[in-house]
Structure 1
Amino acid sequence: MVEKRPYPEGQGPNGDVKRAKPSDAIAAARAKAAEIAARFAAQRATTNGASATPPPPPATAPVSDAQAKIAAMRARMAALKGEQVETKASTPEPTGPRFATTLGNRRAETPKVEAKPKSAPKAQQQQDEELENPYFDPKAAALAKGRGPRVLVFNERGKYLDQASKLRAQSRLEQIKKMLALQARRAGLDENSERGFLVQPPPDIEWWDEGILPDKNYDCIDEPDKVKINSDDSIITIYVQHPPLLKAPQDQRLVQIKPMYLTTKEQAKLRRMRRAADLKEHQAKIRLGLEPPPPPKVKRGNMMRVMGEQAIADPTAVEMLVESQIQQRHDDHVTANDDRKLTKEQEHAKLAANQEKDAQKGLYMCVFKVNTLAFGKHRFQIDNNGKQHALTGVTLFNPELNLVVVEGGAYAVNKFKKLMLHRINWQENAPPTETQAEKQASDPQWLRSLDEQGNTKDHSANKCILVFEGEIKQRSFRKWGSRVCETAGEARETLGRAKLDSLWALAKSME
């Protein structure tokens, strides 16, 4: 086992036993106390301007060991606090040391403290500070004189509780004021004047009676001639106005659910069931006498069976009768189909209605770039399809490039897009006919299908590119048209009227 370290002196289990102090230690403590007292007395005499010669130490009467210890401890305390220690050998003070005697005896030598007496004049004290401290600043000292030490300030009990209760009461009062002001505004009262509490007089005439009475009052109510009730210009009529319900904008874009398609067998079954129901209803009406019975349907196959003896007696007449009935049924069928068929005006109206309905769902724009449109057939196809689909836009012809801008409904724009990107063969070219040559006589050379020598131009590198495609808020053009622009500036000016001049630079940057 490791040997334990011994306890320090005066500690451990028997540490409460006091050590015996030799007589040499007592004498040394007594001499030390006398030396300290003499030193402080000399310093005090020097401060007061007395002679530099220290007074002889006072004669000490023989004291006991306990009194000597008390005197030594008082001297040490006086040295720490800077106070003068006066030793009274005969009548020691009853108060003991403030710390244990054992620890006091074990302390090191008391450091020398040069304490200045309180009775020194202020000027001398300031001068001494200036001499001793080279960093002394009189201005800072003057400012520091007004400062006092911080003292502890304790709040009274319930101070913050009172403040909180006052704040809550003030908040409740403000809320009550706001609520009263809101109620007053709702009631139409004026808090700042007495008029808010007065009942307003009724108007001379109510607003719903202004269209019936000629004057702005009810004085002529007893005169039937002046009251506009049964007159032609009266606002009271026999009709009731029912304003139409408008659909929400988002409902216009909803995709219509297509009906479920039936197979051929299912369609035939439904047709048989529908025709059987109609036949039963028709037979019931014939039995009740509501409709006359239909004539027998005579055909070539059942002619002899239906006509019977009449067919045997005069077969030629019966055959002519059957042929006339067959022709009549065919004519009725053709007439019914013609009656169901729409006229040209009705077809155009239906097409225009469908195109308008398509445009109401949302407008779209497509911009196409074509290298050359010298072939007249290509120009005719673009112009004709644009008009047929009720599209608005413009076709710009230019020696550098040709730009086609179209806008309309989704269905129409999609059809035109298929025409430009798939249906038209842009490498095709042919000489014009005589009629086309007459029409193209005023066109510039770069817009003709033949060159200056009369040869057909090579369009093998001609192509069409989709420059832009997207949805727009409103139309930029009022109708469909075309324009010949000799320079790029004219093309930009034409597009700038519709605020689309950036499309020309975009088309030029695309290859």
Structure 2
Amino acid sequence: MAMILPMPAALQILMVPLLNQLLWHRGLRLILLWLLVILPFLLSTDGTSSAAGKSGSLSLDALAKAKKALQMQKELSEKLKKIATLSKGSSSDGSGKVQGPAATASDAAAAAAAASVQPPTSSVPAFPGLANITNIEAVKRAQELAAKMGFRQDPEFAPIINCFPGQPPVDAAVPQKPTKAPVLRVDALGREIDEHGNVVNRTKPSNLSTLKVNINKQKKDAFQILKPELEVDPNVNPHFDPRMGINKSKLLRPKRMTFQFVEEGKWSKEAEILRVKSQFGEAGAKERQAKQAQLAKAKGGTDINPNLIEVAERVITKEKPKDPIPEIEWWDAPLLLTGSYADISDDVTIEDKLKREKITIYVEHPRPIEPPAEPAPPPPQPLKLTKKEQKKLRTQRRLAREKDRQEMIRQGLIEPPKPKVKMSNLMKVLGSEATQDPTRLEKEIRSAAAEREQAHIDRNIARKLTPAERREKKERKLFDDPSSVETIVSVYKINDLSHPKTRFKVDVNAHENRLTGCAVICEGINVVVVEGGSKSIKRYGKLMLRRIDWAKAVKEEDEDEDETTDKPVNKCVLVWQGNVARPSFNRFFVHECMTEAAAKKVFADAGVAHYWDLAVNFNDEI
């Protein structure tokens, strides 16, 4: 018996892809689906008649459904009239039957019955109204347009669309039922077998983890990059400069931007190599490097980075052999009479074999030996602060002390100070008490003020230095610490030191500044050498170079003698100043010498004859 398909289903096959292309509005698309799918289904339930001889009259339920469907169809047709794009599709036969408002359920039933009478031409079920080849081509075009526009194909209509006569069937995605889980079969030995009893060989997963380093190495070995050959060798190029340090591999592939850690001394070593090459040439530089390497090897010095030493079997160093056990210990030798343990036994009294005079009531401690270690580094020097910083530091300390005192008063650890009442703030502090007995209060206030003043005077007296302390403070200010080992020497050269006034100043100021040295007066040259601390040397230098007018003292002497001979201008210059390990003179004295040899002997006796040579050979005009 041939399969009977209602006409609306065939119209659905033809119109759904086309209307999906034409109607993008969701509401209109739902209306057309209702018209093409649901309505024909309602009509086909009770209104269709078969060729088996059933009555052609419709039942009451079918008529009610048809009437309701016709009413809904009228409402939908009014909405479809507004769409101008459907006017072209209404010319076809199948579409006119569905979209016409005058269609009835009886017409649909008659058409279905007439279609059912015709025998099918093939095994494919016959669809009324779709035997024309143009309808098939229209359906194919509609499917292609729907596929291009991205519309999803309804899987329920795929087998119906593919069953047109004369067309090859298209594979439809038929949902498959979920397959059952495979059954695990095991033999007597616990091996997995299939349904035929054959052992199934499966590769067991490895439980060992592979390091990322090994994985990367395998990938690198598998994927080897072959560097392309350069068309022209840079060394053959006449304009190529090898000093530019261009590497052929770097030209082919740029270097990755990674961290490049430079070892200490790398650049200085390369600079030294370039300097040697430029000075001695390529061959000379290689010979020099070979000699330096041999010399370093002979000295035992290694220039190898300890971080690059290969880990290998350690060489065991031979230890110094232990000393043999002596016949008698060194601490027992001075106590025994014979100097050996042979005379001592268990049955002999030890006291008879000992030197009694060596045993005393005192405990002899061994001499302490300092361990062989390097001396500790000197402690850091205190930070030198400016006057402004010192003042700021004193203010901060004073504020911190005051804050601590207030905190202790708040905790009750010390007694709070009494209120400082004066005549100016009498009424503010006491208030109404000041008016009750003002005479008594005034007396108390004045006595308290006198006590405060006396306490202030007492504190100043307590802080006042004694004459000895004042003298010591003045000495610390004027002179350096005598315990300091620093000794500064100054050598002065004077053209003329014959004037008694200037000679007195040179001698007395040296004694007052606690300087040692000598002043040697000779015909034509005079040398003054002083030794002492930095403060004393500084003051004495100001006296010799600034305060004394050497030229004026000589002029006064020349006026008294009425000499008209021309003499060089008298002046004093500093020949040399520096530090020495220890002073060479015990005190300051003045020597008058007739010759230069006698003057040099004065310095030679003190071991500083070079001072005289410095002064004689000094030229201040350079």
Q: TM-score, normalised by structure 2?
A: 0.36
Q: TM-score, normalised by structure 1?
A: 0.43
